[in-house]
Amino acid sequence: MVNNPYLSSFLEKRFNEIAYKIYYSPNINLKPQLLYSHGNMSECEIPDITSTVNKRFITKSCPNCVIYSFIYSEKNLVHFCLADPDFPFTEGELDELFLLFSIIELENRITSKESELTNIIDSILSITSSLEIDEVLDKIVTHALSVIRAADAGYVQLANDRTKELTVKSAIGFNNKLQAIRIKSGESITGKVFRDGKPVIFYSKSEIYEGMETLSKENFNNIQSASDHTKLKSLISVPLMLDGQPIGVMTVHQYGAKGRLSEDDLRLLEGFAAQAAIAIHNAKLYKEKNEQLEEITELTKRLEEKNKLLLRRADIHETLTRLSLQNKSVEYIIRELNHMMNSEIFFFDNLDSELLPKKAVQYPYLSTDEFAYILRTKTKPFFIEIHDEREIKYYIYPILSDRVSLGCFIIPMLRSISSQDKMTIEQASSVLALELTKQKTQAEVYYKKTQEVFNVLLKNKDPLVLEEIGESLGLNTNSYFSVMQLEIVSYTDLQILEAVIHRLISRIKRRIHEKGTIVFGFHNKVTILFSTKDPKEIDEVAMMLDSLLVKWGNQEDIPLYAGLSSSHKGILAIAKCFDEAQKSLSYLISRHKTGIMNYKKMGINRLFLAQPSPEIERFANDILAPLRTEKAMNNDLENTLFTYIKWNKSIIDTSEKLHVHKNTLYNRIKKIEELLQLDFNDPDDYLQILLACHLHENFSHLE
């Protein structure tokens, strides 16, 4: 039914007894649509009007009907098919029909514009419906294709901020090959649109291919593969502009769609391109704001976590400090730390060379000597793997005070170490460093006081005073006493030296458990006062310490010298013991030999310890000087003498050692006697020779 009352009244009056049909075509190139049919009438064959017609209407006669095609300004057509080919029309009636049918044309145009407006509005709404740029661009391309009826495929390309290459961000009607194209600024159609910022429209395939002349081979192949280009008819491409600058390109293609792309379609596409640019701008703003919000959120989260860590740090510090102020032992603090971390953690005390807590370790483990060796070079946290019957990884956290290694935390890696665990260890290390430094200071104060009391023992001769001091030290004044003095000669850092002395004393105390034995350190020396009922016990302890000191010196890589006195009974003999220990130590250092020198094993050398070195060297040189002339040295007479004395004047042993014939040796001995003017068979002369050789060997290198 025709809705317009004027048209309905006219048709009813004039053609009520005649069948007719009314068709509408929005474009001369599009197939007409049947709007209304009256009476029984077969389908009409609407004439094909493909060129511009300057008439208001044209007439086509058929055997069974007549068709009047009314042409309007927008090339919209209304076709009136009347079943009576001989029906008489006046010119006025045709003019009236033209006017009445224009209402149909106008209504359809309004409907079409409403559809376009609806799609445009939907497209605008899509900008605010989502801030996901890919989703928005897909909607905009889809709406553009629904409005521009002659286009059936389209895509949006955006430029890379750095390279300015155009890449496809949204595409409708193409396969994935289109995503592979990379168009440079000025390349092909879309590259030129981007560079110049001006839209283009091509009405034929030949025009399009001409515009694609500068397209790279790779891009051309990808575009050809992205759709069926054999059906390509026309194309519109417009720039996406933002703040007067091109940021991309929007393009539509016509393949199978009927009709013809027009300037109106170009303007419509520019509208959609403007929407796309706004959507992109909004998405960028959203992304920037969202990133800022994420940064603020992350910063807030970090601040909260940091605040929690600070509170946790303060709580840990308060707990550990309280334990330290309560004079809790290091082992107690370590056990508390195990509880706080809910994890097994050990501590190697590098000053006392022991592992805490004192319990059996269930994992493959390093010895205390190995840990002491490692901590001499490691100052920062590290991991270590130990392979035995089973494999275990440890996290090692060294604790230092200035440059001195106090020890290290040892955490079996049964689980990963969290940041809170590390913070706990860090806090515990500072508290433990103070505690260990305090204990080290207390030990040094004890050593100093013991040194002062010991000096009183050495200087005081009053038996009553000595007995009183001895009793205060827990000594039996009638025991046998002996003194051992150890010295570290080479050192550069006093703080490290103090730690080394502390560690050495700790090792010695673990080996010596005899009641009445006193051990203390002062500067670079350690003094041991032995007190026992049986002197043999001191010899046994000395042998045990000898192996310990050799091993310790090798591990620490520090030369260690020790002098041991003889055993003497009574507390009055301590001063004598100390003097003998010092002489033994001085003798050992002078010969550059590490280990323990027992005073009673020094033999005749005791007689010369009090003599000045130059006097001793002068005596030896006076005897041996004749053997040091150039002629005597050529004959190797001095070496012959030393060898002869060493082998107790044995001709056979000496000749074998010197690799000379017996007769040659006899001649050399005779020559030596002549030069020295001494006789080997004269006891007094031989004693002078023997003494000169001994002094040369033992004292000639002293300064």
- What distance in Å separates the CA atoms of residue 425 and residue 316, rounded to the nearest whole number? 10
User: Rounded to an integer, what distance in angstroms lies between the CA atom of residue 578 and that of residue 697?
Assistant: 27
Q: What does the mean pLDDT of the chain come to?
A: 81
Q: How many CB atoms lie within 10 A of CB 537?
A: 16
| Per-residue confidence band for 29, with pLDDT thresholds at 50, 70 and 90 | low
Confidence (pLDDT) at 604: 64
Whole-number Å distance between alpha carbons of 546 and 540 = 10
Instruction: Give me the domains of the chain, ranges plus CATH numbers.
Output: 5-115 (3.30.450), 130-287 (3.30.450.40), 327-435 (3.30.450.40), 460-603 (3.30.70.270), 613-699 (1.10.10.2840)
Assess whether pLDDT exceeds 90 at residue 235.
yes
Confidence of residue 364 (pLDDT cuts 50, 70, 90): low
Backbone angles phi, psi at 111, to 5 degrees: -60, -40
Mean pLDDT of 309-322: 75
Using DSSP, state whether 568 is helix, strand or coil.
Answer: strand
Rounded mean pLDDT of 82-97?
81
| Closest listed residue to residue 703, CA positions, set 590, 608, 611 | 590
When mean pLDDT is compared across 280-284, 321-325, 585-589, 608-612, the lowest value belongs to: 608-612
CB under 8 Å to 17, separation ≥6 — which residues? Answer: none
pLDDT at 190: 95
Residue 471 has pLDDT above 70, yes or no: yes
User: Could you tell me the two tokens for 634?
Assistant: 């050529």
Contact 531, 480 (CB under 8 A): yes
| Model confidence at 1: pLDDT above 60 | no
Cβ(102)–Cβ(115) below 8 Å:
no
Structure tokens at 190: 């879309």
- Distance, in Å, from the CA atom of 18 to the CA atom of 12, rounded to the nearest integer, reads 10
Q: Do the strands 200-202 and 480-488 form a parallel or antiparallel pair, or are they unpaired?
A: unpaired
- Per-residue model confidence as pLDDT tens digits over 34-57: 888 888 888 888 877 765 556 778
Interatomic CA distance for residues 631 and 626, integer angstroms: 10
For the record, the structure tokens of 173 come out as: 């009607």
Q: What pLDDT is recorded for position 198?
A: 94
Angle at 621 between CA 616 and CA 622, to 5 degrees: 100
Per-residue pLDDT at 120: 62
Q: Report the range out of 72-86, 428-442, 519-533 with the highest average pLDDT.
A: 519-533
122 or 654: which carries more pLDDT confidence? 654
Dist CA 669 CA 682 (whole Å)? 14
CA–CA separation, 703 and 691 (whole Å): 19
Give residue 508's pLDDT band: very low, low, confident or very high (50, 70, 90): confident
455: region left, alpha or beta (phi > 0 left; psi from -120 to 50 alpha): alpha
pLDDT at residue number 386: 80
395: how many CB neighbours lie within 10 A of its CB? 20
Residue of higher predicted confidence among 209 and 466: 209
The residues, any chain, with a CB within 8 Å of residue 394's CB and separated by 6 or more, are 383, 384, 385, 386, 410, 411, 412, 413
Please identify which residue in the block is written with the tokens 């016990």. 537
| Cβ-count burial 23-44 (b if 16+ within 10 Å, e if not) | bbbbbbebebeebbebeebeeb
Joined together, the tokens standing for residue 481 give 């006493």
Residue 703 has pLDDT above 50, yes or no: no
Two structure tokens written together for 311: 């509170």
Cα separation, 426 vs 308, in Å, equals: 16
CA-CA-CA-CA torsion for 425, 427, 432, 437, nearest 10 degrees?
A: 130
Side chain identity at 456, as an amino acid letter? V
Q: Which residue has the higher pLDDT, 602 or 95?
A: 95
Selection from 514-523, 568-577, 675-684 with the highest mean pLDDT? 568-577
b or e along 583-620 (b: 16 or more beta carbons within 10 Å of the residue's beta carbon)?
Answer: bbbbbbbbeeebebbbbeebeebeebbeeeeeebbebb
Query: Cα–Cα distance between 193 and 190 in angstroms, integer?
Result: 5
Distance CA 99, CA 94 (A): 9
Encoded tokens for 50: 């493909």
- CA end-to-end distance (rounded Å), the chain: 137
What is the structure's pLDDT at 166? 94
Contact status, residue 406 vs residue 348, Cβ threshold 8 Å = no
How many Cβ atoms are within 10 Å of 703's Cβ, its own excluded? 6
Q: What is the pTM of this model?
A: 0.49
Using a 10 angstrom Cβ sphere, with 0-12 exposed, 13-18 middle and 19 or more buried, the burial of residue 453 is middle
The pLDDT value given to residue 225: 92
Q: Give the pLDDT of residue 51.
A: 57
List the one residue out of 38, 33, 8 whose CA is nearest residue 21: 38
- Tell me the pLDDT band of 300, cut-offs 50, 70 and 90: confident
In 3D space, the residue among 463, 446, 464, 564 whose CA is nearest the CA of residue 505 turns out to be 446
Are 402 and 436 a contacting pair, CB within 8 Å? no
Of 116-130, 246-260, 332-346, the poorest mean pLDDT is in 116-130
- Amino acid found at 692: A
Are 624 and 692 in contact, with CB atoms under 8 Å apart?
yes
104 or 354, greater pLDDT: 354
Give the mean model confidence (pLDDT) for residues 357-362: 73
Instruction: Tell me what pLDDT residue 119 has.
Output: 63
CA atoms within 13 A on the CB side of 538: 24
Q: Distances from the Cα of 203 to the Cαs of 143, 206, 235, 426, 498, in angstroms?
A: 22, 9, 7, 76, 96
For the chain, what percentages of helix, strand and coil (3-state, to nearest 5) are there? 55, 20, 30
Q: Is the pLDDT of residue 238 over 90?
A: yes
Percent of the chain residues topping a pLDDT of 90: 13
47 DSSP assignment? -
Q: Residue ranges of the alpha helices (H) in 460-493?
A: 463-472
Query: For the chain, what is the radius of gyration of the CA atoms?
Result: 56
Q: Which residues of 566-582 are buried (b: 16+ CB within 10 A; e: fewer)?
A: bbbebbbbbbbbbebbb
Residue 663, classed as helix, strand or coil, is helix
pLDDT at 663 over 80: yes
The average pLDDT across 420-447 equals: 81
Residue 634 has pLDDT above 50, yes or no: yes
Structure tokens given for 10? 């006219």
Do β-strands 525-532 and 20-25 pair in parallel, antiparallel, or remain unpaired? unpaired
Element (H, E) at 661: none
Cα three-residue angle 371-376-379, rounded to 5 degrees: 95
- Give pLDDT, residue 605: 62
Q: List, in order, residues 6 or more apart from 343 with CB less than 8 Å away.
A: 411, 414, 415, 421
pLDDT of res. 488? 86
pLDDT for position 240: 93
20-29, 154-163, 324-333, 425-434 — most confident range: 154-163
Contact 144, 154 (CB under 8 A): yes
Q: What values do phi and psi take at 2, rounded to 5? A: -85, 130
73 has a pLDDT exceeding 90: no
Q: What is the pLDDT of residues 51-70, one digit of tens each?
A: 555 677 888 888 788 888 88
| 676's tokens | 């020295």
